Structure 1
């Protein structure tokens, strides 16, 4: 019906409604097809299409928080890589919850071409009848990860050079394995450099408000313990530390240095600009998408370990 209304072939309609018309269908014809789709109220039944083909033209990305700027960068990397071949479907878990095996099984029923899972919960078996690629999941056999060691060692070396010998750590409440690895590597590097990590602990959800609330409860104890620098497990957590320091009149970096992980775009414009271990989200999404495409094409995917480095800014006196 759509083809008849638009005056074109069924194959052309298929290209347009599945978003594969770029370079294949002229703009006027594509416009006629879209107008016909709207007039007729046509909706593509992806589940039926998948059953007919045995596999779908969808790629599903499951992430714990699509509103987080980091995941926006991951999405951009995935979309730019799979966009011409597959349609990207985004799924966000319940706020504060990491993706689990049940999330994969839920989308497996749609018979997508593949599933990408960002920062999955630790200890979950993320397997399915379609290819599954994990992102930022240290220890995962089918995962694309960061090599955190260079960035962490650069951070600790920088803090040592700035004269810091006792530091605090603001951790995330996330179940994702990557947060445990970040803290473990940081503590090991500090021990090797002669920097003590305060036993005054704090954890928060990965939001500025939650981080600020957690910081308010421990910042006085950190100061009494001789802490001169605070490292946060994510930039959004570090923003909370900066907010509280500003409210209390604590000079950053004069009386307290602050650093984070991620190097989000907004970290260059905080007051002061935030020192951060760069974890390029777009590169992570791109590498995961390439790994998925290689698997779908029957090519042995290369192991992907993305480099990290420290971006020094004013919050640590750089």
Structure 2
């Protein structure tokens, strides 16, 4: 084990500790609110699914990568590799979809009553539960190929056509429908990113118009304190910005993957570090403004 491997292992270990603590604390808070409040808050349902997805990603991606960084190898069977990679890929997809759902729902929630989206406010409340379930089912299907690809790494294995993760390997088959699943996953990611950008832009525009209206009505009596809705929107905008930033870096890493015939260890570790940043940071972004976020409908 080199000093670089040890440093990466330490960073991953800190990500796991802070990520699990943050997500579990947030999840406990939402469960506590669910059983101890009379008014149901629909946005909490989305946040619970997001927190569960982020927790699963950290556990199933972060822990094996940390063990490998500290020099452990061949500690998973083929079944273990399939489960580990399948769960973390599903969790990654659900994290993307629920972040998209969160931003779109927030944009609909704060839209003016006179707008064409006003009718969606009542309907959106009924759709949140089914849409969250749909996100899990969709990504379970989109990542079913992982169960066919992943296998345990053998000590004397030719890695020419396989992707080496140091503890598992991905070996495509002759009749592997990889291009079909890649197109489906990529299309889903692009759609979610476009919706997030649209929702973020809509929230910024609505908040700007609201601020201008309030300033016009109360020129001489303006409170310097932002409304709970405004502060909640800012936290969600911060969350979306963080996701898009880390996702863009992850895409760059995947492009580099395609440029190498044999995957190098530093690409694997860099990918693990970047992909774990959002699940680790997101609970603290939400916790910082939790008293505003959970007051919404």
TM over 0.5: no
TM-score of Structure 1 vs Structure 2, range by shorter chain: under 0.3
TM-score (norm 2): 0.23
Larger Rg: 1
Structure 1 or 2: more strand by fraction: 1
TM-score (norm 1): 0.22
Structure 1 or 2: more helix by fraction: 2
